[in-house]
Amino acid sequence: MGYCYSGGLLCCDICDDTGGVRKHRCPFGWCPSIAICPKCKREHPEYLTKAYHREHGNCEENSLRFKRQKEKELQLLNEGKLLRRSALQHKTKTGWRIKVIFRGLFREGKEQITRAFWMAPRTYRAIELGAPATVEDYKALGKVTRARNADIYNAEKYAEWATI
């Protein structure tokens, strides 16, 4: 989200006026900071409350979920698991296939382990985006074939063309 400036001065997100406008952080550190002038801050103190952010941006729940996901990711990486990092859909003679790239922990002085696997779109979508997903998770959900090449754009023998 961008901020509005007038004559080099930050505008208030509520009334558009400039002068003494300050950015205020979300109490849960989730949504973008809101720019508010002293007058609106006085008249609308509710914009800076936890209750407002809970209700309007679902900020508390989102930030907690994000934190839990990051903790889970780190735990899995420390266990030596590889996590889903990117994917590209390739059109093949028999339908669509997804090439999914998984990466391990980044260790100083060592190369980060990268592996690529092919799977059906149905299998790929079985785990929601944003959630940590390991190769093992996907193997439990459907057929997963190790790709020969870890380059996401390399369709190998399967694909005719690719789309993101």
Residues in touch with Zn ion (CB under 5 A)? 12, 14-15, 26, 30-31, 37, 40, 53, 57, 59
CA distance 82 to 78: 10
Query: Which three-class secondary structure state does DSSP give residue 121?
Result: helix
Nearer to Zn ion, 57 or 91 (CB): 57
Nearer to Zn ion, 27 or 113 (CB): 27
Nearer to Zn ion, 52 or 158 (CB): 52
CA distance 98 to 121: 6
**Dihedral angle computed from the Cα positions of residues 149, 127, 70 and 33, in that order, rounded to the nearest 10 degrees:** 110
What is the DSSP track for 137-151? Answer: HHHTTS-EEE-S---
- Classify residue 96 by its DSSP letter: E
Q: Provide the pairing of β-strand 114-119 with 144-146.
A: antiparallel
Nearer to Zn ion, 53 or 81 (CB): 53
